[in-house]
């Protein structure tokens, strides 16, 4: 039997399968994200999943202060899983607990050449925190439709 978390040769297991991401999204969800920039300022972004089905969803994204800048595209659950497929030779994985607005969350931490990703085991999908080049993104809230 093959591991559904391993999606290609030389890649580490992803934190979630496509099916786990789909099941956690349900009929839709809205994610509010805080982005802390290197200059000390911050902004918020919204990601919203709509029109979900067995294969994927429509993902809408916009800066919270500028909803007129919304973009939308169709994504598959497999594509979203693939965003967390990291090279086994250049990535280390550990576990830890982060204290966030979501609460204290148990995470898998992936340290890559391009940044550090924390995936909450209780929130299948995007990382709840990502840091790279002085920028930090943190999930502030997750609301289900």
Each residue of 20-52: pLDDT tens digit?
999 999 999 999 999 999 999 999 999 999 999
Instruction: Report residue 104's pLDDT band, with 50, 70 and 90 as the boundaries.
Output: very high
Mean pLDDT (the chain) is 96
Q: Is the pLDDT of residue 1 over 80?
A: no
The residue assigned the tokens 């993902």 is 59
Q: Where are the beta strands (DSSP E) in the chain?
A: 29-36, 42-50, 56-63, 71-76, 92-100, 103-111, 116-120, 129-132, 135-144
Cα–Cα distance for residue pair 26/117, rounded to 1 Å: 23
Burial 16-38 (b: 16+ CB within 10 A, else e): bbbebbbebbeeebebbbbbeee
């Amino acid at each position: 039997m093959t591991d559904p978390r391993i999606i290609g040769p030389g890649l580490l297991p992803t934190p979630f399968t496509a099916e786990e991401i789909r099941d956690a999204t349900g009929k839709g969800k809205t994610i509010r994200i805080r982005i802390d920039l290197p200059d000390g300022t911050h902004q918020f972004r919204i990601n919203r999943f709509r029109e979900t089905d067995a294969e994927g969803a429509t993902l809408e994204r916009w800066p919270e202060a500028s909803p007129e800048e919304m973009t939308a595209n169709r994504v598959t659950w497999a594509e979203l899983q693939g965003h967390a497929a990291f090279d086994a030779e250049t990535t280390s994985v550990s576990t830890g607990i982060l204290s966030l607005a979501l609460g204290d969350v148990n995470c898998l931490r992936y340290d890559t050449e391009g940044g550090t990703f924390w995936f909450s085991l209780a929130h299948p999908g995007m990382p709840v925190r990502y840091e790279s080049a002085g920028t930090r993104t943190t999930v502030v809230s997750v609301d289900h439709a």
